[in-house]
Chains A and B, each alone.
Chain A
Amino acid sequence: AAVMSVNADLRRERAAATFQPELLTHILDGGPERTRRRKEIEALVLNDPDFQHEDLNFLSRSQRYEQAIRKSSLMVMKLREYGIADPEEIYWFKSFVHRGRPEPLDLHLGMFLPTLLTQATPEQQDRFFMPAWNLEIIGTYAQTEMGHGTHLRGLETTATYDPSTQEFILNSPTVTSIKWWPGGLGKTSNHAIVLAQLYTQGQCKGLHAFIVPIRQLGTHEPLPGITVGDIGPKFGYDEMDNGYLKMDNFRIPRENMLMKYAQVEPDGTYVKPVSDKLTYGTMVFIRSLIVGDSARSLSRACTIAIRYSAVRHQSELKPGEPEPQILDYQTQQYKLFPLLATAYAFHFVGAYIKDTYHRISGDISTGDLTELPELHALTAGLKAFTSWTANAGIEECRMACGGHGYSRCSGIPDIYVTFTPSCTYEGENTVMMLQTARFLIKSYTQVTSGQQVTGMVSYLNDLSRQRIQPQHVAARTVTVRINDPTSLVEAYKSRAARLVESAAKNLQAELNHRRSKEDAWNRTSVDLVRASEAHCHYVIVKLFTAKLAEVSDAAVRAVLTQLCLLYALFGISRNAGDFLQAGILTSAQITQVNQHVKELLAAIRPNAVALVDSFDFHDVHLGSVLGRYDGNVYENMFEWAKKSPLNKTQVHESFHKHLKPMQAKL
């Protein structure tokens, strides 16, 4: 395509910004040096002809898998060639190579190798690690089954120890026990770490991990006793061979059980693991990645929708004047700016969890695990809260782009289908919310029995002080200043306290009525989820507000403060009922909040494009015709469409096959 200059609308938008986008980019990256390094790695990938290919939208699933595996192979080689070893730098490199999409070696690199490192004995590491590092062994992590996901204890695959041969016999006893979904399992891997119920000496010892070879080295054919394949087309994840695995009396040597913690001795004696708290750590880590991913995916969608809304002109605002940019419509701002604010909020939350995790991991190695249960409970809820919000937000961005958002060329459909499974994997969101709720209820019970609680739930301590007074918590008066983020944090805190208390009381009432604890819990679960959501919402507003004080540049701080206020006030506006019902805000204040939200929309409008520029997505990574940095949308949509597979021939073959014969007959 011809070299085109930047669209005049976008040029004007950028010139009018009140702050320097690079400074904000540095904050998002964690410092100017991190930004520099990220861009360096980006350039390494984007300038490499090996990583170029046709637009994936025009390829079949098989072709997309093929491209992905080609790039993955090269990626592994080049990472070593360039000596990139820092986990975050590897993440950048991988994400530029695959443009934010999953790839067939994800499970090998992200689960198989790390599991070997953490759960294999030194002898097992000698046997498996180097071949796996050199990709002679490609592995996956086979946990989920057709009939069971989040509820691990329900998994049905069995591994029965046979002392006479010193082997485990692996079986998929039912259709529902077939391993289903693991990435890279269908076509790529020749090994899998399989989670199965261990039976030894006639007893079930619960879930354990086993290294299972599944394909013949050399021919890549499935081994006898192994049935393996691809689970078929999905909403997204076209480049990933999510697979199934069925095992029939498949034998592996005793030494293939991962035995760093639990062990089965040659005679079949089972030796229990010391502690299982460590597995918490991995879960916290992966869920913190999802929070970061929520932020990034939503940021990409916002970048596309906001740039396009600055380029697209439609209808009239003032009679007789030219058509305005659609970003000038209040309804469009109301759709997009709260999402922009949300994307920033989630960035800061993601960074906070990552830092906290690293800090606590340091503590773990020195044996201090006191903060882990809270962090575990918090990340479960935040994973659910952010992924739900981002999921819906991406769709709103797409809708805000009208008809063109529906075309694959907008890039938003792809962001959506790639992101949406994170509401399910690594713990289904509703189940995650209920885990957080369990922690909240536990903390509340501690407080009511006179104990103090610490950390993010410490606001529950106030409830016990309140309790001394006869008044209902709802009758409490809070002076909320709607222009002050710190004051809004207090409002969110009160809401969380009120909803936790209300859920706890409802739970107690159910317990008084019914015998079963589980039944009472189930009958309160809608309330419990609401309480968890309110808690997470409070944490996010609090963290966003805290971030403002760290920003040194006044212009950047001013615009981030607007976004923080918008995030907090929009949340109040959307959940007005909670604040009204608890008496935290009056109807008159809610009206003011609604009004202030609209004023903030107008205040943010001049900086909207600069605020998405600060996310600093390269066009190649963004993968969107609508969201191009230069804003030359229409010309490039036409160029893109010409490459559609239906346009390969001028006259489609179906004309000769169907249309012509019909016309001849009629």
Chain B
Amino acid sequence: SVNPDLGSERQTASFSVERLTALLDGGAEQTRIRRAVVEAIESDPVFSRENQYFQTQNERYEAAVRKAVHLQKKMHEMGWTEDGPEYKYIYRALSGDVAFLLHRVFMRSISVLGSDKQIAKWIPLATQHKLIGSYAQTELGHGTYLQGLETTAVFDTATQEFILNTPKISAMKWWPGDMGRSATHTVVFAQLYIHGKCYGIHPFIVQIRSLQDHSLCPGITAGDIGPKMNFEHIDNGYLLLKNVRVPRENMLSKFCEVRPDGTYVRQGSQKINYFTMTTVRISLISDEVLTPLMKACTIAIRYSVVRRQSKLKPGEQEAKILDYQTQQEKLLPQLAAAYAFYFTNDYLQELFNRGYREIQRKNFDMLPELHALSSGFKAVITQHCTAGVEICLRACGGHGYSLLSGLPSLYTKILASCIYEGENTILLLQTARFLIKCFMAASAGQPVPPSVTYLAAVKHGKCPAKNKLDFLRPDIYIEAYQHVAVRLTSNTAAKLQDLIQSGVKKHDAWNQCTVQLVQAAKAHCHYIAVKNFAETVEKLETKAGIQKIMKHLCDLFALHGIFSNTGAFLHDGYTSAAQMDMVTASYLDLLAVIRKDAVPLVDAFDFTDKSLNSALGSYDGHVYQRLYEWAQRSPTNQMSPAYEKYLKPLLHNTLSKL
């Protein structure tokens, strides 16, 4: 039975939860397929995550390998294929708790960077798991800045081999997943040298472990990099190469080739490759970033209607903590952000599909815009969602701190997304570079890509809102966001020019403006997210209450952004002090409105209890019973050797014998 405190929340939903779920999935048929995949995975005990919170790093790793191996069998059994409609739901159903994710990156990099001959040789081996691959790019001393990598690959014409070396400690490969213990092969990125000349970074396939007994190959030192905040199940590894020789054919050579005599040949355009790398940033948003935030919201909001604390009215029962305005103000903006970025992600996916079609037709015009959007949104969404999960964690008070709540592991997992696939600050600066360039072009009357045409239309008006209800009009708040984005970009562009004109070197001027540039890039993305949310709401079906509740969330997302950054909107007087009071009033009113639908809104995300793996967030709301039962399963509740060894002498006052 369902806890009545949670059950009653579902009675009053203003919209159809099932319809909203279907909308998120992209149709009822998709929902059906997704649920079938989840059901198949969760009913299989090999994939269970039941005791995950009690396991050591070694146990987690072993379980992940076991699951990865079992998955092959399962897919075969179920008739799921890599290009079938079920495939994209598998990872979500496993909650990412599986090994060999880098094996897929290994395969993709060969497909993208390898010649036809290389693809024909390696892909079948990898598909059949005759070998296990990894992808070794990051080094101890270098991450995002690829040109700085120090691993070397020297071509030896005499033997037709490349000799790979780790010349110093900071050049050691560090972090690649699956490499610490599992991988037999890896794609190593190294500086290519031919006849003493450096040709820059190139990819090489290197075997690191024996296919017979898994021992390390000669010249290879490899291992696990030790405990991290999360990803205990992944063996992130280090790799040290000492005069490791690989045949000339092992350099991935779709774009560059080294001929037997050492001639270096460039071929084809790398732009498509560049595009592929850009898509990776977008592809991680759904599973690695949105899902954790949606789960965290589900847990925190369900718990907040079960938890009661203090009284709101004398003589009444203690109130649900979600009835407190301060609790609403913590959680509901996160919920709105989850929906906002869900739709942003749809927008980006569509844009990238279009970009892909253009590129196939050899039209590369969209690339700079796609690059800027993917960099900026990767940074903005990961940062926003990471902060959101942490807010959910802390909003659950003491119990949120227990691993059994599920929130600490969601948090430690999502926060890694702020670092991998490009450090966020660096990505925002790439977006900023694009913005400045487009702003200059627009000012000079040149055409600019669609997402930045607004930069040309600089208006110096004032916000026209007259009362608090005006701030529930998308045209009003979209324009406010647009104004801020334009102002930040144009001010920074002007500042840059001033500095350069006053004799400051270009790169110094750039560094002196980076704080502002980051703000401009964020404002640009925020503007697009708000605009896209409002446009999505416009197009939604009006039936079943969907459009109405989504409009509320859109308003909340927009007004929360203004409320938490009032300075940007007040600056230059676009919004007046009195208008800011209206924003606050409308914003706080919305909290009470959305409060009523909070539980149905997280129910619509449709996470099973097993996938939430949380004592606080399960569908039936039996929080305390579950917490008590799970705690009793903890291995710490078996008798600890500490009693006999230390506590007993302590209690018997025989300390001196220690």
Name A residues whose Cβ lies closer than 8 Å to a Cβ of B: 57-58, 60-62, 65-66, 69-70, 73-74, 76-77, 134-136, 138, 144, 146-151, 154, 175-176, 178, 180-181, 186-188, 190, 217, 220, 229-236, 241, 244, 312-315, 317-319, 323, 328-332, 334-335, 391, 395, 399, 402-403, 405-409, 413, 417, 420-421, 423-425, 428, 430, 434, 474, 516, 518-519, 522-527, 529, 573-583, 587, 590, 594, 598, 634-635, 637-638, 640-647, 650-655, 657-663, 666
Docked pose: A373 CA to B364 CA in angstroms: 68
Question: What A residues does B655 contact at CB under 8 A?
Answer: 73-74, 76-77, 135
Cα of A335 to Cα of B425 in the assembled complex, Å: 10
**Bound: A659/B235 CA distance, A:** 14
Q: CB < 8 Å: which of B54, B214, B397, B516 contacts A424?
A: B397
Q: Given A526-B326, A643-B226, A646-B58, is A186 in contact with B636 using a C-beta cutoff of 8 Å?
A: yes
Question: A235 — which chain B residues lie within 8 A by C-beta?
Answer: 401-403, 408
Instruction: Give the number of A-B contacts (CB < 8 Å).
Output: 372
Q: Known: A318-B505, A331-B515, A576-B571. Contact between A402 and B61, CB under 8 A?
A: no
Closest B residue, CB atoms, query A574: B567
Give Cα distance in the complex from A142 to B494, angstroms.
62
14 A-B pairs, CB-CB below 8 angstroms? A69-B642, A73-B646, A187-B647, A233-B634, A314-B145, A328-B511, A423-B394, A577-B569, A582-B577, A634-B170, A640-B226, A647-B180, A652-B182, A663-B130
A634 touches B62 (CB 8 A): no
Whether A408 lies near B226 (C-beta < 8 A) is yes
| Chain B, 552-582, CB within 8 A of any chain A CB | 565-573, 577, 580
A637 CB contact (under 8 Å) in B138, B140, B311, B628:
B140
Cβ of A501 to closest chain B Cβ, rounded Å: 13
Cβ-defined contact, A474 with B577, below 8 A: yes
Does the CB pair A220–B512 fall under 8 Å? no
- Contact yes or no, B223 A642, CB < 8 A: yes
Q: How far is A149 from B507 in the complex, measured between Cα atoms in Å?
A: 54
Residues of B within 8 A of A635 (CB): 169
Asked if A576 and B567 make an inter-chain contact with CB atoms under 8 angstroms apart, the answer reads yes
B420 within 8 A of A: yes
Q: B450 near A: Cβ within 8 Å? A: no
Q: Contacts A329-B514, A666-B129; is A229 near B631 (CB within 8 Å)? A: yes
Decide if A577 touches B567 in the complex (CB within 8 Å).
yes
B314 and A580 within 8 A (CB): no
From known contacts A644-B226, A658-B69, A663-B129, infer whether A652 and B61 are also in contact, taking CB-CB under 8 Å.
yes
Cα of A317 to Cα of B504 in the assembled complex, Å: 13
Residues of B within 8 A of A523 (CB): 325, 588
- Given that A190-B651, A403-B138, A575-B567 are contacting pairs, would A232 and B54 also be in contact in the complex, using a CB cutoff of 8 Å? yes
Question: Do the beta carbons of B326 and A529 come within 8 Å of each other?
Answer: yes
Q: Which residue of A lies closest to B127 (CB)?
A: A666
Contacts of A526 in B (CB 8 A): 325-326, 329, 588
Given A638-B169, A646-B180, does the pair A583, B577 have CB atoms closer than 8 Å?
A: yes
**How far, in whole Å, are A150 and B61 apart by their CA atoms in the complex?**
39
Please report the C-alpha to C-alpha distance between residue A246 and residue B633 in the assembled complex, in whole angstroms: 16
Given the known interface contacts A147-B624, A232-B403, A319-B507, the answer about A518 and B312 at a Cβ–Cβ threshold of 8 Å is yes
A653 with B69: in contact, given A399-B418, A645-B57 (CB under 8 Å)?
Answer: no
- Nearest residue (CB) in A for B629 is A175
Given A176-B624, A403-B138: A644 and B577 interface contact (C-beta under 8 Å): no
> A496: shortest Cβ distance to chain B, in Å?
16
How many whole Å from B134's CB to the nearest CB in chain A?
A: 14
Given contacts A151-B310, A655-B214, contact A220 B397 (CB under 8 A): no
A583 to B402, CA, bound (A): 45
B128 contacts A by Cβ under 8 Å: yes
Residues of A contacting B650 with CB < 8 Å? 69, 73, 76, 135, 138
Interface pair B577/A581, CB less than 8 Å apart: yes
A-contact 0/1 string along B636-658, CB 8 Å cutoff: 11001111011111111101101
Asked whether B92 is an interface residue with its Cβ less than 8 Å from the other chain, the reply is no
The answer to whether residues A334 and B402 also contact, given A154-B310, A587-B571, A641-B238 and a CB cut-off of 8 A, is no
Closest to B505 in A: A318
Interface centre among B129, B143, B394, B645 (most CB of A within 10 A): B394
Asked if B435 lies at the interface with its beta carbon under 8 angstroms from chain A, I say no
Q: Is the beta-carbon distance between A577 and B570 smaller than 8 angstroms? A: yes
The 3 A-B pairs at the shortest CB distance, nearest first, are namely A577-B566, A576-B567, A646-B224
Q: Which of B427-449 contact A (CB under 8 A)?
A: 429
Which residues in window 304-340 of B have CB below 8 A to A?
Answer: 307-314, 318, 323-327, 329-330
CA distance A506 to B76 in the complex (A): 64
B634 / chain A contacts, CB cutoff of 8 Å? 229-233
Taking CB atoms, residues of chain B closer than 8 Å to A577 are 565-570, 580
CB distance from A238 to the nearest CB of B (A): 10
Looking across the interface, which residue of chain A has its beta carbon closest to that of B52?
A233
Among B62, B399, B518, B567: residue with most chain A CB under 10 A: B567
Interchain CA distance A217-B327 in the complex, whole Å: 45
Binary A-proximity of B377-406 (CB < 8 A = 1, otherwise 0): 000000000000010001001111111100
Given contacts A65-B636, A408-B229, A580-B570, is CB(A323)–CB(B148) below 8 Å? yes
Q: Which residues in A have their C-beta under 8 angstroms from that of B87?
A: none
User: Closest residue of chain A to B409, judged by CB?
Assistant: A235
Whether B53 pairs with A434 at a CB distance below 8 angstroms is no
How far does the alpha carbon of A635 sit from the alpha carbon of B224 in the complex, in Å? 15
A424:B401 contact, CB within 8 angstroms: yes
A74 / chain B contacts, CB cutoff of 8 Å = 655, 658
Contact across chains for A666 and B148 when beta carbons are under 8 A apart: no
Instruction: State the Cβ distance, B657 to closest chain A Cβ, in Å.
Output: 11
Contact status B326-A634, CB under 8 Å? no
- Cβ-based interface call for B194 (8 A): no
A188 to B647, Cβ gap below 8 A?
yes
Assess the B215–A406 pair: CB atoms within 8 A: no
| Candidates A57, A175, A527; contact of B628 at CB < 8 Å | A175
Whether a CB of chain A sits under 8 angstroms from the CB of B172 is: yes
B10 at the A interface (CB under 8 A): no
Q: Please, how many angstroms separate the alpha-carbon atoms of A76 and B647 in the complex?
A: 13
In the complex, the answer to whether B394 meets A331 with C-beta atoms within 8 Å is: no
A313 and B141 contacting across the interface, CB-CB below 8 Å: yes
Kindly identify which residue among B143, B170, B651 contacts A403, using a CB–CB cutoff of 8 Å: B143
Task: Report the minimum CB–CB distance from B352 to chain A (whole Å).
Answer: 26
B214 touching A148 by the CB < 8 A rule? no
Chain A residues near B324 (CB-CB < 8 A): 522, 525
Q: A402 near B325 (CB under 8 angstroms)?
A: no
A312 partner residues in chain B, CB cutoff 8 A: 141
Which of these, A57, A332, A587, A634, contacts B141 with CB under 8 Å? A634
Q: Using A144-B398, A474-B577 as known contacts, list a sample of 15 further A-B pairs with CB atoms less than 8 Å apart, ordered by residue number in A.
A: A60-B56, A138-B647, A315-B148, A331-B515, A399-B424, A403-B420, A408-B227, A420-B401, A518-B314, A519-B312, A573-B567, A634-B170, A640-B226, A645-B56, A666-B128
- Kindly state the separation between the CA atoms of A70 and B640 in the bound complex, as whole angstroms: 13
Query: Is B256 in the interface zone, CB < 8 Å from A?
Result: no
Interface flag for B123 (CB, 8 Å): no
Chain B's closest residue to A244 (CB) is: B631
Shortest Cβ distance from residue B292 to the other chain A in the assembled complex, whole angstroms: 15
Q: Is the CB of B398 within 8 A of A399?
A: no
B228, CB-defined interface residue at 8 Å = yes
B632 lies within 8 A of chain A by Cβ: yes
- Taking CB atoms, residues of chain B closer than 8 Å to A643 are 226
Instruction: Given the known inter-chain contacts A154-B318, A430-B326, A635-B169, please indicate yes or no for A58 contacting B214, CB distance below 8 A.
Output: no
Q: Which of A74, A146, A417 has the most CB of B within 10 A?
A: A146
CB of B34 to closest CB in A, whole Å = 27
Cross-chain contact B309 with A150 (CB below 8 angstroms): yes
Once the chains bind, are A407 and B313 in contact (CB under 8 Å)? no
CB of B172 to closest CB in A, whole Å: 7
A646-B419 in contact (CB<8A):
no
B132 at the interface (CB under 8 A from A): yes
B213 touches A402 (CB 8 A): no
A20 and B390 CA atoms in complex are apart in Å by 39
Decide yes or no: A424 and B224 within 8 Å by CB, A69-B646, A175-B624, A659-B65 being known contacts. no
